[in-house]
Amino acid sequence: MKNQTPEIILASASKSRKVLLKNAGLKFRVETSNVDEKKLKEKFQGTPVEDLVLKLAGAKAEAVYQNNKKSLIIGADQMLECENTLYDKPIDYSNAFEHLKNLQGKMHRLVTGVSIVYHGEIIWSFVDQVNLEMRSLSDKFISEYLEIVGPEIFSTVGSYRLEGHGVQLFNQVKGDFFTVLGLPVLPLLTFLRLKNFMVS
C-alpha cells in the first residue's frame, strides 16, 4: 500500500503565490504565519539579502508547522534591493510614489527565498534573484499608474505587479518570471516530485 502524501500548506498570504501553486495543479491550503517580519529584519540587520529571505521564509514555515505537525509547510519571502537599500511594501500612496521615484531609471533586484519544513526540520531551501531595469518615469505617469492599480499596490515590494500594469514600468527583466511573482515554482515542483510529495 502506498504511503499517503502529507497535506501541503502554503504559509503565505500572497495572492500571487497562491495562484502560482493552484495553476501548477498542486493540492494545498493556505495558512498565514504570525511572524513579526519587521522584528526579524531588525534582528538580522546587515545579513546578506539572500540569507535574510531564507531566514524569513524558514521562520514563516516553522511558525505554521507548530499547529500542523503532520503537514509539509512551504514558506517564502521576497525582498527588493536597489543601490544597497532594501525596500518593503509601501504603507500608503505617498510611500509608493516615493519608492517608484527612487527606483525609476535604475537597475534593482528582487531576491526570493523559499523553505520547506517537514517533521520540524527545514528539508529544502532555495533562493533566486532577478535583475530588473526600470525605465525613467515622469511624476504624472507614476501618479496615474498608482491611481489605476489602486490598493493592490500595498501588497507588493517595489509597488508593482509585473503580471499587470506594472509591466509598463520596465525596459528589461533578467531572470525567472515566477521568481518575480514571489515563488520559484519550477525548482519547488522538482523537489516535491523528487521526494514523492506529488505525482511525478
Q: Does residue 158 lie in a domain region?
A: yes
CB 130 within 8 A of CB 180: yes
Distance CA 153, CA 97 (A): 10
pLDDT score, position 45 = 84
Q: Within a 10 A sphere around the Cβ of 81, how many other Cβ atoms?
A: 18
Task: Examine residue 13 and state whether it is found in any structural domain, yes or no.
Answer: yes
Diameter of the chain by CA atoms?
64
**Which residues are part of the catalytic machinery?**
77
Distance CA 91, CA 154 (A): 6
Q: State which residues of the chain have pLDDT below 50.
A: 1-2
pLDDT at 44: 85
d(CA 5, CA 60) in angstroms, rounded, equals 22
pLDDT of the residue at 1: 35
121 found inside a domain: yes
Q: Is residue 1 part of a domain?
A: no
* CATH number of domain containing 68: 3.90.950.10
Q: Which domain holds residue 119?
A: 8-194
Q: What is the pLDDT of residues 82-123, one digit of tens each?
A: 999 999 899 999 999 999 999 999 999 999 999 999 999 999
Q: Does residue 73 lie in a domain region? A: yes
- pLDDT score at 3: 56
In a domain, 3, yes or no: no
- The total of structural domains in the chain comes to 1
Classify residue 200: in a domain, yes or no: no
Report the length, in residues, of the chain.
200
Give the per-residue pLDDT at 86: 93
The answer to whether residue 155 sits within a structural domain is: yes
